[in-house]
Chains A and B, each alone.
Chain A
Amino acid sequence: MSDVPILETRGLGRRFGSLDAVSDVSFSVPAGQILGVIGPNGAGKSTFINLVTGHIKPSSGKVLIDGKDMTGQQPWTIARAGVARTFQIVKPFNGMTVRENIAVGILYEPRGTNRMAAALSAADEVLHEVGLDGSGDRMPGELSTADVRRLEFAKALASRPRLLLLDEVMAGLRPNEIGPSLDLIRSLKARGTTVIVVEHVMKAIVAVSDRVLVLAQGKVLMEGEPRAVLADPKVIEVYLGHRYAKRQKGNE
């Protein structure tokens, strides 16, 4: 494996009017790692994913994929470079069956098939991976909330990405449903996929991440090994307020 990180950002920033939604975010992910990204509401996590995948153009800084400058590229160009994502607010193709939802991603993957019939049968494998076997002929509108999240996950997996950005795929899942999702992320890592997991469920982050990045008010607050980061007073402070952090310190 080369030393070039699969994803690197340099001073990445985006301004919305007078608000710096993301500012000066610099970090890199080596290929094959799982990076957890946490931060309180409004920290800029989703904006960060949108910047990396081209859905929002940055106001400053650079995005490098495999060392190549992809700043300001269109979402489909970035997708074809092997980067897939999910959306926090799920975006299924509502007029297609679940199987067709996946097949579209397979068709438009550069190395994939151009034939719909082949894409449809390949879609079943992906459905099996996320635990949606047997739902292939249903419409997204008929699925449960948890299954719609699985579909969102499966749509991203359809293109067999090398870098996968997951925006809160576990939100709204019951605790017993989180386990399978974590297993899936681990199996992706085993396959060599780099995964960036944006999540509110701390237990999930600790369980799968090799490294954790904490965003607060659009900036990188800290970065490091999961348990150490979560125990850090600065992180506790941005999540729970400084008075709680102080009390924690007093108790020690």
Chain B
Amino acid sequence: MPTKASFSIASKSSRTLVASVFGVIALAMALALRSQLPGGELRAVSTIFMFIALSQAWNIIGGFTGYASFGQVVFFGMGGYFAAVVMLKYHFSFWLALPLSGCFAALFAILIGQPLLKLKGHYFAIATLGVAEGMREVVINIADLTGGGAGISVPIAGKFAKTEYLGDGGFYLLFLALAIFSLVIGTVVSRNKFGYGLRAIHQNEDAAAAVGINTVRSKVMAYALSAFMTGIVGASYVFQQVTIFPERLFDVEITVLMIMMVVIGGSGTVIGPLLGALSLQFVSEYLREHFTNVHTFILAGIIILAVILIPQGAVNYLREGIRTKDFSLLTNIRRYRL
């Protein structure tokens, strides 16, 4: 029925319009906030932007493709260390180190993706976790290059500092740009041929191969793209922190946060991880301020409730609710009962 098809396409373009209007307003607000907020809060909001970018990156491989990477932080750490090493030892400017660090992470993803992406489900999750943990030890043990456990510092002043330190306001803009970049990539992927191929792989890999999708290449490309996006965030984080340590840069907590944001917001959507990153960061900040002693306890409780009540994530829950006109959480639990 052509009428129906054109209707759904029209509604898609009107959705795009609404989304871009909201996007422009949000961007204007973000830019206006920059001059209003004190330094500490600028850094807090920068962290939110950082996690928006990270959760979008994880969503490419974990959400669209359905390969839950529990070692995603390895790309964050490798991108970060690559940037630190080339800036310190080879006096690269940050703006050159930034894209290169992403490529370095992507290259590593292509290398380990070939064997790892043959694994499925829990096996893939555990294998990637192992890679991240192992890489941290490697970085600690090649101290000549990485500074080992004592950490490494990026030059921010003096004649070897090719790029001047950006300051709170500068990093605010940098992380905002990374967040926007990741949202654009996420939106493009969610609508193009490549993205539909990834979804098909997620939903049935055999059937995807049967309709002509090169599942091996698509998965490796998704992993590399996700690694690139994570790597450049890692490099920016390193520049912001100046001195970094393997424990922090390969901290499994960073992976866990990315996954939580995607899962709570709604994996496989663009808006889901965005909402997840915003809400999780805001809620955790709020709790830290008002319930200093028990804030992680309360946050954990909220996360557990969210996962039990809406395991498919907020955005997917709302979409299904609108489609079926049934918002009952009980129905929802029954539908997604594990």
Contacts and interface: CB of A to CB of B under 8 A. Distances in A.
Interface of A: 53-55, 74-76, 79-80, 84-85, 87, 91-96, 99-100, 103-105, 107-110, 114, 116-117, 120-121, 123-124, 133-134, 136-137, 155-156, 158-159
Given A95-B202, A121-B5, A124-B2, A104 B211 contact: yes
A85 B203 contact: no
B213 A96 contact: no
B9 interface: yes
A108 B211 contact: yes
Contact of B196 (A75, A107, A109): A107
A91 B204 contact: yes
Nearest to B207: A91
A116 B211 contact: no
Ordered nearest first, which 5 A-B pairs have the shortest CB separation?
A91-B207, A79-B212, A75-B209, A108-B212, A93-B203
A133 B4 CA distance: 10
Contacts of B9: 117, 120-121
B193 A107 contact: yes
Contacts of B5: 99, 120-121, 123-124, 136
Q: Is the interface of B mostly helix, strand, loop or mixed?
A: helix
Interface in B189-225: 191-193, 196-197, 199-200, 202-204, 206-216
Contact of A105 (B8, B199, B203, B211): B211
13 contacts: A79-B209, A79-B212, A91-B204, A94-B204, A104-B213, A105-B212, A107-B196, A108-B212, A108-B213, A116-B196, A121-B6, A121-B9, A123-B5
Contact of B210 (A55, A134, A136): A55
A107 B212 CA distance: 9
A84 B9 CA distance: 28
B71 interface: no
Interface string B2-45: 10111011000000000000000000000000000000000000
Nearest to B192: A116
A93 B200 contact: yes
B210 A75 contact: yes
Contact of B215 (A76, A117, A133, A156): A76
Contacts of A156: 210
A76 B209 contact: yes
A96 B207 contact: no
B322 interface: no
A54 B199 CA distance: 22
A155 B207 contact: yes
A105 B200 CA distance: 10
Interface of B: 1-2, 4-6, 8-9, 191-193, 196-197, 199-200, 202-204, 206-216, 268
A94 B199 CA distance: 10
A146 B334 CA distance: 25
Contact of B214 (A76, A116, A133): A76
A108 B193 contact: yes
A96 B216 CA distance: 21
B211 A159 contact: yes
A80 B2 contact: no
Given A94-B204, A114-B193, A159-B211, 6 more contacts: A55-B209, A76-B212, A95-B203, A100-B196, A107-B193, A134-B1
A159 to B, nearest CB: 6
B308 to A, nearest CB: 21
A146 to B, nearest CB: 19
Contacts of B1: 124, 133-134, 136
A144 B249 CA distance: 51
Task: Among A92, A105, A134, find the residue whose CB has the most chain B CB atoms closer than 10 A.
Answer: A105
Contacts of B6: 121
A57 to B, nearest CB: 13
A108 to B, nearest CB: 4
Given A53-B210, A93-B207, A109-B212, A137 B4 contact: yes
Nearest to A89: B206
Given A108-B193, A136-B1, A95 B199 contact: yes
Given A55-B209, A104-B196, A104-B200, A116 B2 contact: no
Nearest to B215: A76
A55 B8 CA distance: 35
A85 B196 contact: no
A108 B210 contact: no
A105 B97 CA distance: 40
Contact of A110 (B207, B212, B216): B212
A55 B208 CA distance: 11
